[in-house]
Each structure stands twice: as structure tokens, then as C-alpha cells.
Structure 1
Amino acid sequence: MSAADVVGPQALPELQAQVARIIAEAKQQGASACEVAVSVEQGLSTSVRQGEVETVEFNRDQGFGITLYVGQRKGSASTSASGDAAIRETVAAALAIAKHASEDDCAGLADPELMARDLPDLDLYHAWDITPEQAIERALSCEAAAFATDKRIKNADGTTLNTHQGCRVYGNSHGFVGGYASTRQSLSCVMIAEADGLMQRDYWYDVNRRGEDLADAASIGRRAAERAVSRLGARPVPTCEVPVLFAAELATGLFSHFLSAISGGNLYRKSSFLEGALGQQLFPQWLNLDERPHIPRALGSAAFDGDGLATYAKSFVERGELRSYILGTYSGRKLGLPSTANSGGVHNLFVSHGEDDQAALIRRMGRGLLVTELMGQGLNLVTGDYSRGAGGFWVENGEIQFPVQEVTIAGNLRDMFKQILAVGSDLELRSNVRTGSVLIERMMVAGS
């Protein structure tokens, strides 16, 4: 059996048997209910810099985590070991924690009748038969293409190829057991451009379930180099209030902030500016946000959530109106609402978009800032206040004029969401959030 087989679909029966042993041990030690997640994974990481190999690392991890209940008391423990002694000790540790925990009326497994029944095959596992030597060659060719793109590319900050494959099984004392094998492959390149004694750094990457479907290594290197060169001569702009266009790869973050704000954990803790916003108009009427968890091979796809409930397609925002929170079993109980089968998060969020690509949105913007880099955290989820260091390009008369750095963009997410003028057709497919570039009518840009 090959190494790939050990962590691929062939590992499922063994992991399922391990889940059964752990649940049986928990019951024997006195738990009234329990849930277990068992996983095994491995990967190869290869990085090069300046034509030299920096690292070749092979990693392999395994282990399990158990959450058990004694009535309404909860305890959790985990280990990287998998033998019978480790199972007994980890269960005992979780049980000791539960016995000292406070009672929680919302604690416990999801109702038995809600457990997933039929789990679709989402085609998430595609082992990549690539040797370390081949991985090095691909990374080197990516970097070489970057250096060949422009004479102003003077240095490299690392080109890395990663492969990952794993198998995970979740089960609970209701009798639910579900598992899947998955893969994730990526290639990234970071380059440094220099001119007139000044340097700029930028990157590009691709990620896919299938290694064979990754973008050509040379094209990734060229894109990283072009982006770095395009930033040379960057300067601040005077403080102003102008339209702001978020490049698609950054616009994903805007909608990720929104998902955090409507997540049950933040809502019941009263730490979200969207507490009580269900039914409110938060976005323009033309905008929809929906979850599509069963797309074959997609990076965010999942057949069941962290509580064992079957995932399903749903709208969070319809015609600009908030239609649903993001709830797991526990957060739903805390809010007096049913679970939306989102314990563990959202799986493949789709943002509705128009037909204009980024270039068309730049023309539509006329004058303003195209943001291609964000720095710092700068978000207060309680108030929605947003302030981030940014870099990108200044636009006049619908055309890029010069690169921009050392500015801060600021606003409030409530206002920013309402002021979305358009979402581009240049969809970002390397993320769990699928969106194009986002044009916002007005934000404060603080510069020189």
C-alpha cells in the first residue's frame, strides 16, 4: 500500500473503527453522550529561493479529539496518539473536565433525527503523484519565469509548492458516522522588484484539489513578477473621500467579515454589529449571498457539518435582505433558533455579480482607489468600524495612473455593504468565498 493509500479513502474503515472504539470507551467510563473527530493527514512542502532549494519537508499527523457530556456538563480533550491506552487516557481526561464544568442547558449533541443520512460523494480526493524532485523542478521553473519577466526583478522571497492529503471521520453516540478523504495542492511565488534604490514586493499563487489543474508554474511566476514591478514608484495620496474598488482576492475578506458578523457565536455573545439584523436590508436589492456546499471538487464543499447534520444550499442574503444567520446546534439553542447545519462555518459562499470585469469597474469608478493589498486587522466587529492599511493604484478618468502605498482606508461595514455599486465578473475561485471585485461608492482614504 502506498503512502497516498494510507491517508486516502482506504483509511476510512480503520478511522471509522477507531471512532467506534472511542465512543464505546466513553460510554463505559460513564459519559451520557459523546462526539469524536479522528483524522490522519500528510503532505510535502518544497520551497526554493534564488535558484536554490531552501526546504523539502514531509509531514504526517494523526490524532483525535473527543467531546463528551455528563448530563449538561461538557468536557473536551485531544491527542496525537491512537492506541488503546491513549484512548482510555484521553476519554478519562475529557470526563474529568466535564465533571468539573458548569451545567449548560444548551450543551449536548444535535437531536438524533437531524443526523445526516445520505452523504453525497463530492469528489474531494485527488492524490498528486509528484516526487520531491519534480516538486523542486516545478518551483524552480516558476521562479525562473518570474526573473525572466522583467530586469527589475532583482530578488526572490520564496516559491513554495505544497501538497496535502488527508482523511477525517466524525461520529457521535447517536450512531452517526461520516467521513471523507480530501486533497489540497498549491503553488505560490513571492518576488521583489527594485528600481532607483527602492524595492517592492508582491506575489501570486494558485490552489486546487487536483495538482494537474494548478495554473502553469511559469504563468504564476510571471504574474508575481508583473505585480511586483507594477508597484514600483508607489506613493501616498492626499486624504480624500472617494470610491474604492477591492480586487477580487481582497473582496473575499469583506464578505468573510460579514459571515463573522452573522455567525451564531458572535450573536449570542452580543459581540456583533449585526445582532438583531435578521430581516433587515443590508445590501443593495440586486445582491444575493448563498451557500452551495455540494459543488464537486470545490475547496469549501462538505456533505455534513461539525455536528453531523447534512449540509444544504441556502440563502443568507436575498435581494439585499438578511434571511438567515449562520448557526450550529449550540449557537442555535443559545438564540432559540434551529441549526442551519453550519457548525464549523459556511461551505462555498457565492456572491451575485454583474457582467463587468475589473477593467470595466475601473472605468466606471472614474476617480478613486483600486485596492490590491491590505495590512493589519483594523475591524471592530462590535461596531462595524473598519480601518485598514492599504496599497494599490490611483485611478483618474477611468484609468490607472500610478501605484499607491502608505494609505489607510476607513468606513463602517454597514455603510460599505449598502454602498456596494457593483460586483465584477472576475470571480475569485481560490477561496471559500466566490466573488468578483467589489466597487464601493465612498470610503475615506487617509494619506499624506
Structure 2
Amino acid sequence: MHELQDIVSQEVVLKDIVSECLELAKKSVDAIEVVVKKTRGISVSVRKGVSEYIEFNNDGKLFITVYNNNRKGCAVSTNFSISSIRRTLQSAIMITHFTSSDRYSGLPNYDTLAIDSTLNLDLLHPIIFDINIAADLAISAEIAAYNFDKRIINTEGVAFDSHFSSIVCGNSIGLLNGYSSSLHSLSCCSVAKEKTCMQRDYAFSISRKITHLDSSEHIGKESARRSIDRLFPRKIKTTKSPIIFSSEVAPSLFYNFISAINGDNVYKKSTFLLNKLGKNIFPNFLNIKDYPHISQGLGSKPFDNEGVRTKDNLIVDKGRLISWLLDSYASCKLGFDSTGHAGGVHNLLIEGSGELDLVNLLKYMGKGLLVTELMGSGVNIITGNYSRGVFGFWIENGMIKYPVSEITISGNLKEIFRNIIKIGNDINKNSIIQCGSVLVSEMQISGL
């Protein structure tokens, strides 16, 4: 294990860098915000038992934002020397001479800042960056995939990543705080072949703690199973049908929702949910909550990218939208308080009926489409129009009949959200948006 004290010492060094920058800016700007991040880690990819690449990284970035007469200037540097800090600061100040005055620009309110935050979210579990250990994990997953079935003829690579980061945020009104975290992942993509048909699919696991990753054997076998299940897909006729978004792809629906209620899109009036605050947009059994303080949570953090304290947020209550996602600028524009979402959501929990696993959800649907992969980016957040290429499985009598491909599903997100009738309990833990499979009563399917 890395000595945690070394990482704590790194955090202290970063705080010194931020303090130095704040001190240099005292007489030059009205206000300043400084964020510095340092990341170290290793990435290893293997294929057919041979390492394709091994990458060590030791990266750092310094972000300086200054305000003079309500004019904003930003500059970034990867060099933490005093001379570089001075040049970066001067660049940010120079930019303010060419930007327009904006009365909404400025630092967050002092009362919202994580001045004295001492939350222990248990985010830091680093490991020794050992190439052999990393390669052995990846090779074990690949071997498990090959051994699963003779139809697995290749992999598109098995990758192991391990990184830890320290981030410190400070500003000219008293904030100087930081935290450190780690993240580990293992993924495998298998290629199956039978006769003239070839298909590929993948499995992966992400965790703050390496011992909480799924086993390499499980990841290899799961990727192999999924690839084989996809063999010999069929086309289906154009129709309207119930659709289940599997728990691997269901979070994408709610990423669209997050984008639609993001404060930037709201004040720019570029969202299909513009006038929906306080109104029902989901069925009344559905709640959406953001929990930034879950121990070891993938999205947990004590403060957002501006240093604003994070807190639990109820976003959708019994289907009703009750909160936008706001940073300090958007909150000023819209006349609300910051919700601590500069940088996005944290651990978003989609709470629905939740009593059915995927097997029973398929039985509940009876006949329809199970979507397991989404392709393309045909989503218009301004209108809500939705169109995506998909791969999946046709369901009859609650059972998988055959795989399907070369089809498109479409609709409007307003209707899709309203037409959610069940959410499964098979929660995807590899995403900061945690939800089970989602059953939508009807969508357009374009095929033959």
C-alpha cells in the first residue's frame, strides 16, 4: 500500500501552492479562486496474454479564476513553480481586460463554502503501482473469457486502471480545503465467433477499493457470456412496443434528465424542461435523490468544483421536479441558492417500485424489447426528441427469444419519462447514477 501519510503530505503541498497563489493575487484582483489537482496512477492493457501498453501517469493542473470589476478571467497551468504560477495569474488578469462585465460573476456566497468541512467519506484506498499485479489481474480475466467457451476467439483488450487524486480548492474569502480519493477499474471485451457471425461485448467493475472490484474471473466470464448471447442477431419489423432499458444503459436516460435540469441550460432557456419546476414529469412512484456523502461512493465528495459544501438533495419527489442543479453563477442568474453541483451530480439514486429483478421484469413486460446497448447521440435537450441506435433482445412470454440489431428506438423524453412503469432492483453499481432496469410502456422501434 502507498503510505497514506505521503498522500496527505501531497495534499499539504497543494494547499501551499494554492495559498501562494492567493497571496500573490491579493493586491491585483477583486476576487480569486484557485483549484489544483494532482493525479498519479497506472493503466495496463493485455491481449492474448501479452501487455499491449503500460502507462504510468503523474499529472497535475492548476486552475486560476480571477474577477476584476465583474469581469472574469481564467488560466490553466501544468507547472507548479512560482514563476509559472505568476505567469498563469498574470494571464488570467490580462483576460479580464477583454471580457465583458457580468454582475452575476463572482465567488460563491461565503455561507455556502466548505470552510471547515472535515467529512471522512472513506474515498482513499490506494495500492502499490505494481505492473505485475496489474497485468496478472488482466490476464486472469482474459483466460477466464477464453475458457468460458470455445467460441471466444479473441478479446479487444483487458484493461486494469488504478489512480489516486488529491484536489485542493481555495479562494480570497477564506476557503482552503482539499481531499484525496482513489479509483480502480477492471474491464474485459470478448469476441465470439460461430460460423460467419462475430459479436463482441464487455463487462467491467469500478470501485474506490480494489478488494471491492468484481473478481477477474467473473468479469472475463461475464464478457464472454454476453458476447455469445449476441450471436446471430435478427432484424425486426417497424413497430411500437414496450421497452426495457437494462441497468447498464438505463443511467443514460437520467444523464439526459440531468442535462435538461442543469442550471446553465435552464438560464439559457435551452431545455425541454424549462417550465417544469414544481410539476410532475415522472410517474408518482419515482423519486430521485443525490447523496454526495455515501461512504466510498463513486461520486462522493465533500465540496463541489467551486468549494461549495455538498449536501443531500431531493430532486424529484413522487414524480415532481423540485430542484434544478445549480452552480453559483446559474443560481445567481435564476435567483436561487447554489445546490453544490458545479461539476455535476454525485451519487444519484433513482428510487422506484424496485421489487422486481430483471428476470421478473421481463415476465412482467411479457413481450417487447430489452435494450442492452445504445449507439449514436441522437438526443436534443432543447426539444426532448430522442433517437438512438440499439442492440438488444426480443422478448416473448417473458423470455429472451433472440438477439436483435440494426434497429432504432425513438420518442420524446417527456413521454418516455412519463411512460416509465417499473424500475427493477438490479441496480448498476458501476455508475454514479444508480438505478435498476427501466420499463417504458411504449416506444417507436424502426427496423425492417
Task: Say whether the fold is shared (TM-score over 0.5).
Answer: yes
Q: What are the within-5 Å matches in structure 2 for residues 264-303 of structure 1?
A: 264-303=263-302
Give how far 1:119 is off. Answer: 3.2
Q: What are the within-5 Å matches in structure 2 for residues 38-49 of structure 1?
A: 38-49=36-47
Map of 1:54 onto structure 2: 52
Give how far 1:51 is off. Answer: 1.8
- Is 1:31 paired with 2:29? yes
Map of 2:188 onto structure 1: 189
Preserved contact between residue 7 and residue 41 of structure 1 (Cα < 8 Å): no
Deviates more, 1:113-122 or 1:165-174: 113-122
CA distance in 2, matches of 1:83, 1:4: 25
Deviations 1:251-291 (A, max 9, x none): 01101110110010011111110112101110010100011
Give how far 1:6 is off. Answer: 8.3
SS of residue in 2 equivalent to 1:248: coil
Map of 1:364 onto structure 2: 364
Preserved contact between residue 165 and residue 182 of structure 1 (Cα < 8 Å): yes
Map of 2:424 onto structure 1: 424
User: Which residue identity is paired with 2:83?
Assistant: A
Give how far 1:235 is off. Answer: 1.4
User: Which residue identity is paired with 2:436?
Assistant: G
Q: TM-score, normalised by structure 2?
A: 0.98
Map of 1:109 onto structure 2: 107
Deviations 1:351-395 (A, max 9, x none): 113110011110011111000000000100000000000001000
1:75 is aligned, of 55, 73, 82, to 73
CA distance in 1, matches of 2:5, 2:143: 35
Q: What are the within-5 Å matches in structure 2 for residues 126-275 of structure 1?
A: 126-275=125-274
CA distance in 2, matches of 1:254, 1:428: 13
SS of residue in 2 equivalent to 1:252: helix
Map of 2:414 onto structure 1: 414
CA distance in 2, matches of 1:426, 1:299: 18
CA distance in 2, matches of 1:314, 1:267: 18
CA distance in 2, matches of 1:417, 1:21: 49
CA distance in 2, matches of 1:221, 1:121: 34
Map of 1:87 onto structure 2: 85
Deviations 1:317-370 (A, max 9, x none): 000000111011100111122211211111101111311001111001111100
Deviates more, 1:37-46 or 1:130-139: 130-139
Map of 1:445 onto structure 2: 445
User: Which residue identity is paired with 1:31?
Assistant: V
User: Against the structure 1 CA distance between its residues 346 and 421, is the aligned structure 2 distance closer, same or farther, given a 3 Å change threshold?
Assistant: same
Give how far 1:233 is off. Answer: 0.6
CA distance in 1, matches of 2:17, 2:99: 27
Give how far 1:4 is off. Answer: 6.1
Deviations 1:97-131 (A, max 9, x none): 01211000100001223222333111110012351
User: Which residue identity is paired with 1:365?
Assistant: M
Q: Report how many residues are paired.
A: 446
CA distance in 1, matches of 2:128, 2:177: 27
Q: What are the within-5 Å matches in structure 2 for residues 13-28 of structure 1?
A: 13-28=12-27
CA distance in 1, matches of 2:9, 2:214: 29
User: Against the structure 1 CA distance between its residues 325 and 240, is the aligned structure 2 distance closer, same or farther, given a 3 Å change threshold?
Assistant: same
Map of 2:389 onto structure 1: 389
Give how far 1:62 is off. Answer: 1.2
Preserved contact between residue 156 and residue 192 of structure 1 (Cα < 8 Å): yes
Structure 1 unaligned segments of length 5 or more: list them. none
Give how far 1:216 is off. Answer: 0.6
User: Which residue identity is paired with 1:370?
Assistant: L
Give how far 1:13 is off. Answer: 1.2
CA distance in 2, matches of 1:54, 1:427: 33
Deviations 1:149-199 (A, max 9, x none): 011111111000000111110111111111111000000000100112110
Map of 2:342 onto structure 1: 343
CA distance in 1, matches of 2:59, 2:117: 29
Map of 1:377 onto structure 2: 377
User: Which residue identity is paired with 2:43?
Assistant: S
Deviates more, 1:289-298 or 1:123-132: 123-132
Preserved contact between residue 238 and residue 446 of structure 1 (Cα < 8 Å): yes
Preserved contact between residue 193 and residue 228 of structure 1 (Cα < 8 Å): yes
CA distance in 1, matches of 2:406, 2:252: 20
Preserved contact between residue 168 and residue 176 of structure 2 (Cα < 8 Å): yes
Preserved contact between residue 8 and residue 182 of structure 1 (Cα < 8 Å): no
User: Which residue identity is paired with 1:402?
Assistant: Y
CA distance in 2, matches of 1:316, 1:48: 42
User: Which residue identity is paired with 1:107?
Assistant: S
SS of residue in 1 equivalent to 2:11: helix
CA distance in 2, matches of 1:113, 1:201: 52
Structure 2 unaligned segments of length 5 or more: list them. none
Q: TM-score, normalised by structure 1?
A: 0.98
Preserved contact between residue 15 and residue 169 of structure 1 (Cα < 8 Å): yes
CA distance in 2, matches of 1:261, 1:97: 31
User: Which residue identity is paired with 1:66?
Assistant: I
SS of residue in 1 equivalent to 2:214: coil
Deviations 1:80-108 (A, max 9, x none): 00011001000000000012110001000
User: Which residue identity is paired with 1:180?
Assistant: Y
SS of residue in 1 equivalent to 2:97: helix
SS of residue in 2 equivalent to 1:21: helix
Give how far 1:437 is off. Answer: 0.3
Map of 2:95 onto structure 1: 97
CA distance in 1, matches of 2:7, 2:117: 21
CA distance in 2, matches of 1:223, 1:7: 37
